[in-house]
Chains A and B, each alone.
Chain A
Amino acid sequence: DVKVTQSSRYLVKRTGEKVFLECVQDMDHENMFWYRQDPGLGLRLIYFSYDVKMKEKGDIPEGYSVSREKKERFSLILESASTNQTSMYLCASSSRENREQYFGPGTRLTVT
């Protein structure tokens, strides 16, 4: 079974803090994705990566950066957290053919 894990299920941070969200997949997938999910808006793509050290901006990259130093790990970084970044963050991975995405359990981030 494909397994995508995220470092935290719940996280509370203060405004201005630097935040790291980690995602690890065990299926040797080339593609990895970070989404945020807000009520009524569906999932919105923040960044994705199709290979180690490669990254592409998604629909809403502002205020975020990513790092992919190893194939199995994809990190989302909030350089200076703000209250409007309070959200559910979902990581996903897929093979190179990109036919189906497998999601992690999500991290619910609250910025106060």
Chain B
Amino acid sequence: KNQVEQSPQSLIILEGKNCTLQCNYTVSPFSNLRWYKQDTGRGPVSLTIMTFSENTKSNGRYTATLDADTKQSSLHITASQLSDSASYICVVRGYGQNFVFGPGTRLSVLP
């Protein structure tokens, strides 16, 4: 069964610190993986999208990595800001398939 797992479920860090969120998936055959940021009460907004041949992609302070062999991805946030407080969702799509969503990691950045 195609699944996407994320860890940790929730995370609290202090402003200015770095953090890394994890995503493991079993979707096959793999097409692409994207990370979304979802503010409370809002729809998800795309941060990065990665295909099979890409193993690192950055978007400002956000850097996503992908290891297609181990079926793992991570999202690294550098120098966190209060506005980074949100849920981060990992989404994987297989060829000819719909999107499979992870449950999300809830990040809280404290001053």
A109 to chain B, nearest CB (A): 13
CB–CB B42/A99 < 8 A: no
Mark B42-64 against chain A: 1 for CB-CB distance below 8 A, else 0.
11111001000000000000000
Chain A residues contacting B46 (CB-CB under 8 Å) are 100, 102
**Smallest Cβ-Cβ distance to A41: which chain B residue:** B103
- A39-78, CB under 8 A of B: which get 1 and which 0? 0111111001000000000100000000000000000000
**A24 at the A/B interface (Cβ < 8 Å)?**
no
Q: Which of A40, A99, A100, A105 contacts B43 (CB 8 A)?
A: A105
Residues 65-103 of A contacting B (Cβ, < 8 Å): 90, 92, 98-103
Interface residues on B, range: 20 to 34
Considering residues B9, B49, B98, B102, which has the most beta carbons from chain A within 10 angstroms of its beta carbon? Answer: B98
**0/1 per residue, B12-54, Cβ < 8 Å to A?**
0000000000000000000010101000011111100100000
- A74→B42 CA distance, assembly (Å): 19
| Shortest Cβ distance from A101 into B: residue | B99
Query: B61 → chain A, closest Cβ, in Å?
Result: 21
- Measured between C-beta atoms, what is the minimum distance from A89 to chain B in Å? 10
**Does B41 lie within 8 Å of A45, measured CB to CB?**
no
- A106 and B102 form a contact (CB under 8 A): no
Q: Are A42 and B102 in contact (CB under 8 A)?
A: yes
Which residue in B42, B49, B101 is a CB contact (below 8 Å) of A100? B49
The CA-CA distance from A106 to B41 in the complex, in Å, is: 7
Scan residues 7-59 of chain A and give those whose CB is less than 8 A from a CB of chain B. Answer: 9, 35, 40-45, 48, 58
Closest chain-B Cβ to A38's Cβ sits at a distance in Å of 10
Complex CA distance for A98 and B94, rounded to whole angstroms: 11
Quick one: which of A4, A42, A98, A106 contacts B101, CB cutoff 8 A?
A42
Q: Which 5 pairs across A and B sit closest by C-beta, in order of nearness?
A: A103-B43, A42-B103, A43-B101, A42-B101, A105-B43
17 contacts between A and B (CB under 8 A): A4-B43, A40-B9, A40-B103, A41-B103, A42-B4, A42-B89, A43-B44, A45-B99, A48-B98, A98-B93, A100-B46, A101-B99, A103-B36, A103-B43, A106-B41, A106-B43, A108-B41
